[in-house]
Structure 1
Amino acid sequence: MKYFNLIKNKFPLFFICLLMSCGSKQEVVYYQNSDSLAKTEVTNSYEIKIQPDDLLMIIVSAEDAEIAAPFNLKAILVVAPENQYSSARESSQLYLVDSKGTIDFPILGKLKIGGKTRTEVVAMLSQKIATYIKNPIINLRITNFKVSLQGEVNSPGVYTINSERLTLIEALSLSKDLTIYGKRDNILVIREVDGQKTFNRVDITKADFMNSPFYYLSQNDVIYVEPNKSKVNASKIGPDTSVVISAASILLTLVTLIISITK
């Protein structure tokens, strides 16, 4: 009888434990084959491409600043709050890449730059402006580079990046890493390529993902970390599970009573 009471009292906890699978080292540890990868050279290099809705700061300079001035957007005067040091400052206007991948550039007119890398755009501008200016210097930067992190990360959200070179690991670090419930072998990277959304899977438990085209992120990438089996199973513990546990407890109680009566 004592043993039946023990089983009856501990059964709900035992049942819950059965619902939640235990994690393994292979599901949690990063870069598990890094030793073998270290023997090979990581050749992956990546340069982002200009996309619609990018905000570009493009500055043309030369030895003679007056000659280069017509190729730059006029700066606008921004009045600072009274508690700031200066009452006003100059702010460079930005080029917005339209849905067709073009911008309106002073003197040169409409330019198709969507789908080109930063290096390619700088080379194109240098070649065109060289007709007017000797040895022009082109400085181009994307000012609204951002990525979004969702799912099983500690700090989900949209992160704006000052650099134009961001890795998946750096992005996950910005979100304070994955939770213990994050599925590390099947991270989803949503990326727009030529106007089409692509859905790509990355396994960061294997170090060779560093050779993946999704190791370096593009602007506006969305990273989604799925919950693992433990989190999914834990979510099932609700009203339905309570009913099952209650029914099982009642059944055990009946069995206990029947056995005690027959004795």
Structure 2
Amino acid sequence: MGFSTLTGHLRRLLSPLTTPLQCLELANCNLNRVDMAYLANSLHSENLVSLDISGHNVCGLFPTTFIKLLQRCAATLHSLTLEDCDLEDEHMDILTQALAPCRGLEELKILGNPLTATALRRLFSTLAAGFPAMRYVELPVPRDCYPEDVTYPLDETVLLQYDREMFQVVRGQLMGILQGVGRGNVEVVTPLLGAYDADINETSNELGVSMVKSFNSIIGNFIDTIKIVDNRRSNKEVD
């Protein structure tokens, strides 16, 4: 279930439900304290398998209710998305505390957060030690791989302007943490504009756009050719 802006209306939207809620997408919905408190105390949260609360500063504005929410759905939660949640190094204690009871978590997506390599290493140490079901992680490019003057959320013009060599070093360290405890099978990706393909040095989204443009160009040329043939045929008939 997904919603657009619904500040203050979460109770009214969820209370009529009579069946267990398993998937809840609340990205960028401008949730306030009342909404978060309701969600953290609602029976609707007890069977959640997938939860997306991207775009909300959960650790900075709602730390207690965020922890309580994940405690409530810990037994069933498999996928958690926290993209663009203003997660910073100072929030790592809250984040790891909130994640702690979610032992069955399989997917964690935290793109768009200004976390440094130090914070990510700490997070991966936590994941490696206590999350045996984890199989997929989407992590951001560390904050320290970007120029010091960048601001978040990152604009697309600067999103790819990071130190790739430093990033590969950090990524190797994070994978090393997982491999050190026999968890090298966990898929760790950083899809910025789509799934990155090092062989073609562009993202799949960018490749898709390129293919669409080429296709449109071919179709356009074909239509132009048809028009020329029709015009010639019309001119011959007139003559």
> How would you bin the TM-score normalised by the shorter chain?
under 0.3
Query: Which structure features the higher share of strand residues?
Result: 1
**Which has the larger helix fraction?**
2
- Whose radius of gyration is greater, 1 or 2? 1
